[in-house]
Amino acid sequence: AQSVTQPDIHITVSEGASLELRCNYSYGATPYLFWYVQSPGQGLQLLLKYFSGDTLVQGIKGFEAEFKRSQSSFNLRKPSVHWSDAAEYFCAVGAQNTGNQFYFGTGTSLTVIP
């Protein structure tokens, strides 16, 4: 069965520091992977996605993620965090053999301290 694990429930970083949010997935075929960000009271905004090709993908707001098949991971990174990055981050895997639904992790809450 498809599943996504985000091991870190909450992360705190200082403004200007680097960031890495972890995501591990379980899926029997080639995964379609996504990172979304959710600010309080807002919907989910797509940061980036991986379908195929280059395993390092660039997204909006300076984020990037690397697909590592051998580790079943799709970790999100940012070299220098801004206070406005404080939000909830969700990793998701798309499952084409089950109606194209997305399976989401439980999210990682990011706090940025000045």
Partner 1 sequence: GAGVSQTPSNKVTEKGKYVELRCDPISGHTALYWYRQSLGQGPEFLIYFQGTGAADDSGLPNDRFFAVRPEGSVSTLKIQRTERGDSAVYLCASSKTGRRIDTQYFGPGTRLTVL
The answer to whether residue 105 forms part of the interface with partner 1 (CB under 8 A) is: yes
Single residue of 49, 62, 66, 77 touching partner 1 by CB under 8 A: 49
Sorted by sequence, the CB contacts under 8 Å of residue 25 that are 6+ apart come out as 2, 3, 4, 5, 31, 33, 72, 73, 74, 91, 93
The answer to whether residue 58 forms part of the interface with partner 1 (CB under 8 A) is: no
The DSSP symbol for 53 reads: S
Sorted by sequence, the CB contacts under 8 Å of residue 8 that are 6+ apart come out as 21, 22, 108
H or E element that contains 87: strand 87-95
User: Least distance from C-beta 114 to partner 1, angstroms?
Assistant: 26
Q: Spell out, one character per residue from 77 to 96, where the chain touches partner 1: x when CB under 8 A holds, - when not.
A: -------------x-x-xxx
User: Least distance from C-beta 17 to partner 1, angstroms?
Assistant: 25
Check if the beta carbon of residue 96 is closer than 8 Å to that of residue 90.
no
The answer to whether residue 60 forms part of the interface with partner 1 (CB under 8 A) is: no
- Which residues in this chain contact partner 1 in the complex, by CB under 8 A? 4, 32, 34, 36, 41-46, 49, 51, 90, 92, 94-96, 98-107
